[in-house]
Structure 1
Amino acid sequence: MAGVNRRWYSGMATTEDWWAVWLGLIMFLAGLTSIWGWDLVGWMAKTGTWVWGDFSWDKALKATGYQEWHPLLSLLVTYLVFTALTCLGAAAMKLNLKRFFAGWTLLFVMTWAVWIMGHEAHFKASVNEFDKYGLSWGLSLGGGFSYMLALVVGLVIGNFFKGFAEFLREAAKPEWFIKTAIVYLGIKIGLMSIEAASFTFELALAGIAATFVAYLLFWPIVYTLSRRVFRLSREASAVLSSGISICGVSAAIATAGAIRARPVLPVMVSMLIVIFAMIELIVLPGFYTAVAPNQPIVNGAAMGMTVKTDGADAAAGAILDELMRANAEANLGVVWQEGWILTSSIVTKIWIDMFIGVWAFLLALVWVYKVERQPGQSKVGVIEIWHRFPKFVLGYLLAWFVYMAIATLGPELSGTATQGAEVVEGPMRKMMFMLTFVSIGVITDFSKLKGMGKLALLYAIALFAIIAPIAYGVAWIFHHGMMPPTA
């Protein structure tokens, strides 16, 4: 077990997971100052809905708080603030700072250009807003169109402009961006908990129960399939089973480290995870919306258990949230509050992420003391659970519980606290989602599937014939009938 003697604070200044916490908490604290009447986040830019043929910066863009600012000044300050913070993190993580800065700048410009285009009224406006914008038709996709457009742009770059994609790769960090967004999401959950505390509690309990049941089934079934049918080695089967059953790349790497697998195994499995996650991201939100439009929470929970990697899951949950709310408003005559469907996806994923450390620890024990049985083998310390624990979850939970505490212990502060919180959990969180979509596309190269036919076939069978059906069945059992609060 390499690194078994690491200190508990190892990586706090140098790892992506911790820097998601720091970026998240910096803005969390900045937004929290609205309690004292300060506005430290009002410079943040946000997109507005505009109509083709009538474009103006005042309609397409605006500052969240400093209304007297020109929209482009707000966007410039947004760029400067987040560039300073991300470059600080990049330097601490020993990335190539010059390449990161250049790549980040291009990603930022592309992301905002796509985001503004995606808010054109024919794509975004709901059926109830057609008269407002003078429309005779529209797709009514809400913010989901921006996410899908960002993914398409990224995939085009990643697969057809590979030189450009390689240049952007130093800054295209979808896991970092999405983990930061999830910390911001903790603020949104806190605000939503104020309005619907009992539903939030019910959702959390259902999520942990569903996750526990699902993963008692996923891992042994996939492991047995790998060993008995595809005749893979123990280590290959374990790495693949963890990657597809628990939480994608993180679980594959954690498992490989725990059992001392050959370095090539987590690399190959990680490629499959990322590529298949893109397929799920493109297919599942629309599929779930079409086949079960009246089961939003079931769909979200199933998404959380099916889509691997935090980035792809949160991205898919965000698209699902937008598509299902738009469909419900147009066809079911109900307006659900934004964020609850995404939350149901994130909650199950959070429980899964927290499970990685425990599972890696248990596998390490099995391999060290049962499979390898080497005399004099180093003991595996319980501290390994902490080292495997996804640290960004700490930021998410802290933001959630702080806003719940404000509502409970200082309800008179709720109004002022909400002002800053809405900027962070709104435009900042969505910007990080948009950056994630573009970055995921940039680093996804479908040509890497060549030469992995047997492993890819096993992954596809396990994902679509085992994981997806079981996940949906379990989600149905524990979440059937749960509905988001209405707007």
Structure 2
Amino acid sequence: MSIQSKKINLHEDWIVVLLGFLIIGISLFIFLPLVPVFKWANTADLQNDVFNFENLQTLFIQFVYFISIGTIGAFLAGKSVKNFLLVFPIVYLLTVIALIIAGNSFVKGLNLEAVIFSLAIGLSIGNFFKLPEWFRAALSTEVFVKIGLVLLGTSVIFSDILKAGSLGLIQALIVVLSVWYFAFWLCKKLKVDDELTMMISSAVSICGVSAAIATSGAIKGDSKKLSYVISIVLVTAIPMMIFMPIIAKYFNFPEEVTGAWLGGSIDTSGAVVASGTLVGETALKISTIVKFSQNVLLGLAAFAISVYWTYTHNTSQGEVSKPTLAVIWERFPKFVIGFIAASLLFSFVLTPEVRDTVKDSIKNLQGLWFALAFTSIGLETNFKELLQNNSKKPLYAFLIAQLFNIIITLLIAFLLFSK
């Protein structure tokens, strides 16, 4: 049984939107949190840069900032503020450790993202130590995730996408639709359960982790299944990030084609940037634009999935019944409104100068909310139980769908971007 996802309700979704825009408002008008330093190469750097007084002070201010936002959320949602205040410092400390590990120059050279270490640390503790039920219940996993998704909207700037022309959007649309339906069909053929089917289809076709999280929120999915899908996405992204640029160079693919291929098929934004950098500046630019174009579709996809789920899983006396508009609205994931509103605000209301002033700070905040969520997901997930309760069919479905994604995206990239 899911601990967090079954407790999150629509009222809390509105709270997430409120908290997301509270953070944006504070960043724009009141206080712009400094970005902590996590980069280090040796012990001296660790001591002088990461653990110096100024950086520790920045980390402490950031801790106070986050625990304050989280406490407001726990209070508004009617959860135990006391338990949250006891649990959050532990989650924050574990997440900072993950960020420090990811900040090492050797680790950065391997292009490993901080969320991988957040999830690994959480899973290690959650599986080797028996955590009390009140501790697990106090983990605000989905709240952290959805705040991060609202803040993700601030980085989806429509003018940046349009500068690259319509090709990126066209490719994103074709890839998302074709890969999503193939993955959905394949999961059904392999008799994967409905929740995993929706999460896998979205993750492999849209934008990996963010899409899986948004889909889980739209269908109120089991957070343990979400953890399973996220783990597959993160692990699969590593070899793709390394070998796809090598393949492109070996066969002398044009940089434009390579960039479109990488951006359309690699599932995490960090891995897309890392792989694009290995190829060249043009590939990096186009891969980023294509990935942004897929991110734009995230809100629309979450809305469509929530409507589909409501129509196919709205039961009355054991039978599926046609939902009313009120039921559709009740089940609609309100955090999607926050994501779209944030994107519209930063695309059309704020000036480029204001965006440039706050973008690094908000990106840091967004990344930390996601990292906190991954730590929490690990802490609340029993991986042994997860593997026992799920056959290998979801893994096979994801890998086959990802191979289809790689092939179809390459063909479309050649059709659209080859000169």
Q: Give the TM-score category using the shorter length.
A: 0.7 to 0.9
- Cα distance in 2 for residues equivalent to 1:296 and 1:176: 34
The one-letter code matched in structure 2 to 1:395 is G
How many residues are matched? 390
Higher helix share: 2
2:379 to 442, 446, 450: 442
Deviations 1:171-215 (A, max 9, x none): 44443323222222221222xx44553338644443333333333
1:383 corresponds in structure 2 to: 326
Percent identical among aligned pairs is: 18
2:43 to 53, 71, 76: 53
In 2 relative to 1, CA 299–169 (structure 1 residues): closer, same or farther, beyond 3 Å?
farther
SS at match of 1:25: helix
1:429 corresponds in structure 2 to: 366
1:24 corresponds in structure 2 to: 20
- Cα distance in 2 for residues equivalent to 1:482 and 1:153: 42
The one-letter code matched in structure 2 to 1:343 is F
SS at match of 1:456: coil
Where do 5+ consecutive residues of structure 1 fail to align?
1-9, 34-39, 63-68, 125-139, 227-235, 258-265, 305-316, 408-412
The one-letter code matched in structure 2 to 1:70 is E
- Verify: 1:155 aligned to 2:98, yes or no: no
1:97 to 81, 92, 109: 81
Shift of 1:244: 4.0
2:405 to 450, 466, 471: 471
Shift of 1:401: 1.6
1:348-367 → structure 2 map (5 Å cutoff): 349-364=298-313
Let me know the Cα RMSD of the aligned residues: 3.8
TM-score, normalization by structure 1: 0.67
Would the aligned equivalents of 2:33 and 2:361 in 1 still touch at CA under 8 Å? no
Shift of 1:359: 0.9
SS at match of 1:100: helix
Deviations 1:311-350 (A, max 9, x none): xxxxxx144135425544xxx5778369657635644544
- Cα distance in 1 for residues equivalent to 2:366 and 2:218: 28
2:171 corresponds in structure 1 to: 206
- Verify: 1:302 aligned to 2:265, yes or no: yes
In 2 relative to 1, CA 358–298 (structure 1 residues): closer, same or farther, beyond 3 Å?
farther
- Verify: 1:121 aligned to 2:70, yes or no: no
Would the aligned equivalents of 1:19 and 1:89 in 2 still touch at CA under 8 Å? yes
Shift of 1:105: 0.8
- Cα distance in 2 for residues equivalent to 1:200 and 1:394: 26
Would the aligned equivalents of 2:141 and 2:377 in 1 still touch at CA under 8 Å? yes
The one-letter code matched in structure 2 to 1:163 is L
Would the aligned equivalents of 1:57 and 1:71 in 2 still touch at CA under 8 Å? no
1:131 corresponds in structure 2 to: none
2:231 to 278, 281, 290: 278
The one-letter code matched in structure 2 to 1:53 is T
SS at match of 1:292: helix
1:62-101 → structure 2 map (5 Å cutoff): 70-101=54-85
SS at match of 2:36: strand
- Verify: 1:175 aligned to 2:142, yes or no: yes
Would the aligned equivalents of 1:46 and 1:61 in 2 still touch at CA under 8 Å? no
Shift of 1:358: 2.1
Shift of 1:106: 1.0
1:371-410 → structure 2 map (5 Å cutoff): 372=319, 380-406=323-349
The one-letter code matched in structure 2 to 1:151 is L
TM-score, normalization by structure 2: 0.77
Deviations 1:24-83 (A, max 9, x none): 2112222333xxxxxx33333422423323236662279xxxxxx933332222111211
In 2 relative to 1, CA 123–149 (structure 1 residues): closer, same or farther, beyond 3 Å?
same
1:188 to 127, 148, 155: 155
- Verify: 1:43 aligned to 2:33, yes or no: yes
Would the aligned equivalents of 2:261 and 2:406 in 1 still touch at CA under 8 Å? yes
The one-letter code matched in structure 1 to 2:187 is V
Where do 5+ consecutive residues of structure 2 fail to align?
1-7, 203-210, 249-257
